[in-house]
Amino acid sequence: MHTSQTPDAMMKAVFPAFDGLGLALPERRAVSRDGIAAKRVLDVTVSILALLLLLPVLALVSLAVKLDSKGPVLFAQRRTGLAGKTFPIFKFRSMRVTEESADVKQAVEGDARITRVGRIIRKTSLDELPQLFNVLAGHMSLVGPRPHAVAHDDYYGARISNYGIRFKVKPGITGWAQVNGARGETPTIDIMQDRINYDAWYAKHRNLALDLKILALTPLEVISTRNAY
């Protein structure tokens, strides 16, 4: 049976595994203006460098998506960000359909909507690379709660009491939930509740050192490709 954990319980269970990184447990405190400015500098600097370094990869993925199936290379969908404001999130298209309705279905294992190239870029998270432009535009941060489709926000927001805390910070390309394996399909409320607990913990404890730790752990999570369809 799947059980939910409180953020503090997860904190105590997860952080000992990171002792070797030499980073102290972040204290629960308000983020200063300097901290917000430093996070923005990190977002812009890393995003520009990543786009320059990954330009050949972006070009190859664009070509592969275009040749594999009919439709646009990029997929845009409204997501909810900081303070509940919506924005268009960008991804490489990985499905034969581009849903933007009140009934957006999550991808599941063996989903027939996913293209051949789509399966590869979803497993490796290459489909998320265009979100670097969202970071440059200020819609997103490198690190933060993953933004969900607006239809999913409406659904889970009515069923999970602490769901709204994720809108107190900018959404991210990667996050505390993702590096702890909470990614992919959420077939039950309990599974989504666990993910939101991670997001809530991050919102309360976020700082630059924690962001750097999450960025360092993200490639390991991508390589493991847990729960990614």
How far apart (Å, rounded) are the C-alpha atoms in residues 11 and 18? 11
Residue 29's pLDDT band (cuts 50, 70, 90): low
Contact predicate 180/197, CB 8 Å: no
Place of tokens 């991050």: 202
From the CB of residue 9, how many other CB atoms can be counted at a distance below 10 Å? 12
Positive or negative: CA dihedral 96, 181, 145, 7:
positive
pLDDT in tens, 182-221: 887 888 999 999 999 999 999 999 999 999 999 999 998 8
Per-residue pLDDT tens digits for 62-116: 999 999 999 999 999 999 999 999 999 999 999 986 655 556 677 666 678 889 9
Residue located via tokens 């370094």? 53
